[in-house]
Amino acid sequence: MQELQQMIINAETEQGNDNTHTLGAQCVPLASKAAFEQAKQIQKRAQCKAARSHAYQMESDGLAFKYLAMQAQYGDSHEQTVSAKKLWLDARTAIQARYCDDSH
């Protein structure tokens, strides 16, 4: 943004033309709008990430603990362990689909 403003000042100084000033005045709001849109997208991704993390805590973490308990008690191949693992992984998959974005 500062570079753009400096270019405008330099162009005005070199040319002394009112058209340069008008063009510069039009460019600054466009750059500000682009920066604002970028900030909105960053905020949206952060909110999505926080919501996904909360969903994992509420819906998936308990299932993970149950799976780990079954694994410790019965071993990897026991029917209850396999079932608990499937429930946990299915919950994670559902959460990932619900909160899908480009940041993971």
Dist CA 63 CA 66 (whole Å): 5
Predicted confidence (pLDDT) per residue in 39-81, tens digit: 889 999 899 999 999 999 999 999 999 999 999 999 999 999 9
* Secondary structure, 3-state, 3-14: HHHHHHHHHHHH
Return all residues near 96 (Cβ < 8 A) that are at least 6 apart: 52, 104
- If we measure between CA atoms, which residue out of 60, 5, 59 comes closest to residue 28? 5
Give this prediction's pTM.
0.58
